[in-house]
Structure 1
Amino acid sequence: MNDMEIIDSSFSAVINAPIDRIDIPEWCFSLPEKDYQACSPAHIAAGFTTAPDGRRMSINVEVIGGSLMVQHYVETLAKKDHLILESASDIFTPTGRTTLHIKWELSVRAIDGQRCEFTNHVVSTATDEFRSFLDRQGIPFDVFRAQRAPMSIAHNKGETPLFAASIERAALRK
């Protein structure tokens, strides 16, 4: 863990579909809002657009640990079996607005001809703006990290099997 890292969380779940039927970027950038909401009680809204450089962007809105987050996930790697998205996410707290950097990595690997293992990996790191935000309030970063990490990890653990089920449904519709 580096001195700016808040969490590094990874969970896996089985997808009962062959790997050649799975296309994670297609799933991610066409996921209906109701399906996104069904993957966690913390999920509020999802939409899609493009970044200024033309790369696809997924906009996700959720509440974790009482803070509203608006994530602007831009694809940095897009393969059928592996998607990496990075976001300068806006965080709205009772004491103001700030940002975090989040790297969201989704991948699948074949278990056998009919099943895959899906992995949902999230790494969040503090921006300089966020560190200043905590400093202005007199909150030590380690104290914030200790309080935030369990909530973020629980969120990832809860959404992973539901994302896997959604990807499975999309794969089996093909």
Structure 2
Amino acid sequence: MELLAECTAKAMIHCVAEKIDLADWLFTLKDQEYQSCSVNHIAGGISSSIDGKRMSINVEKVADNLLVQHYIEEIGNKDHCRVNSISDSFSGLGNTKLGITWELRINVLTANTCELENSVKVSSTDHFLTLLKSVNITDLALVKSQMLQNVEEHSAEETPLFAADIYNKVLAGRWD
């Protein structure tokens, strides 16, 4: 799989980092909470993989792509989560699959302030490359550039809203 796009967005959270549990947040995020973090978030839910790992299932639009993501837990700590998905992508070009890694971290800034770091990596699959070839798209650099722009715009919108949702849960005593 070839890396197509990689971006990181950050948002400050005004609380002690130890009061946050990212794994609990990610794997208990309710549908309506997920939807409130982007106008392009359509649905979110939780499940488990065949081998019993926690899974976050998200449906969202990024630019003109409708994505159905089945994020399987790789790292699930209080301050660091990484999940991977072979995601279904539906666009005007056709239906395909993309590899997506979503990584969240809480970084300590001061004794009472931290930041949410939201990173996304999108990788090609054989299916995706075959689709590009079938529609005579040969300029992978152009595809990468457009994909990066789309992912950056989406992450810039959702990251501060994810941080706000986390902060509201801290204020409600969710992880005390």
| TM-score > 0.5 by shorter chain | yes
Corresponding position: 1:67 with 2:65: yes
Please give the residue correspondences for 1:92-107 in structure 2 after superposition, counting only pairs within 5 Å. 92-107=90-105
Q: 2:107 aligns with which of 106, 109, 118?
A: 109
| Corresponding letter in the other structure for 1:55 | K
Tell me the residue number matched to 1:155: 154
**Secondary structure of the equivalent of 1:138?**
coil
Tell me the residue number matched to 2:145: 146
- Which deviates the most, 27-36 or 46-55? 27-36
**Secondary structure of the equivalent of 1:111?**
strand
- Which deviates the most, 48-57 or 140-149? 140-149
Please give the residue correspondences for 1:15-164 in structure 2 after superposition, counting only pairs within 5 Å. 15-140=13-138, 141-164=140-163
| Corresponding letter in the other structure for 2:168 | R
> Superposition RMSD on alpha carbons, in Å?
1.2
> Deviation of residue 34 (structure 1)?
1.3
CA contact (8 A) 1:12 1:118 kept: yes
Tell me the residue number matched to 2:171: 172
* Deviation >4 Å, runs of 4+: none
| Corresponding letter in the other structure for 2:57 | I
> Deviation of residue 123 (structure 1)?
0.6
**Secondary structure of the equivalent of 2:29?**
coil
Unaligned runs of 5+ in 2: none
> Deviation of residue 91 (structure 1)?
0.3
- Which deviates the most, 95-104 or 73-82? 95-104
**Secondary structure of the equivalent of 1:35?**
helix
Superimposed CA distance per residue, residues 87-146 of structure 1 (whole angstroms, 9 cap, x where no aligned partner): 100001223211000010000022222211110010101111111111111112222222
Identity %, equivalent residues: 37
State the distance in 2 between where 1:173 and 1:5 align: 39
Unaligned runs of 5+ in 1: none
State the distance in 2 between where 1:64 and 1:117 align: 24
**Secondary structure of the equivalent of 1:17?**
coil
CA contact (8 A) 1:21 1:172 kept: no
| Corresponding letter in the other structure for 1:151 | N
Superimposed CA distance per residue, residues 135-169 of structure 1 (whole angstroms, 9 cap, x where no aligned partner): 11111222222222211111011111111111111
> Deviation of residue 33 (structure 1)?
1.2
Superimposed CA distance per residue, residues 7-39 of structure 1 (whole angstroms, 9 cap, x where no aligned partner): 110011111121111000101111121111111
State the distance in 2 between where 1:107 and 1:147 align: 26
Superimposed CA distance per residue, residues 39-78 of structure 1 (whole angstroms, 9 cap, x where no aligned partner): 1111000011000110000000001111110000001001
Aligned residues between the structures: 172
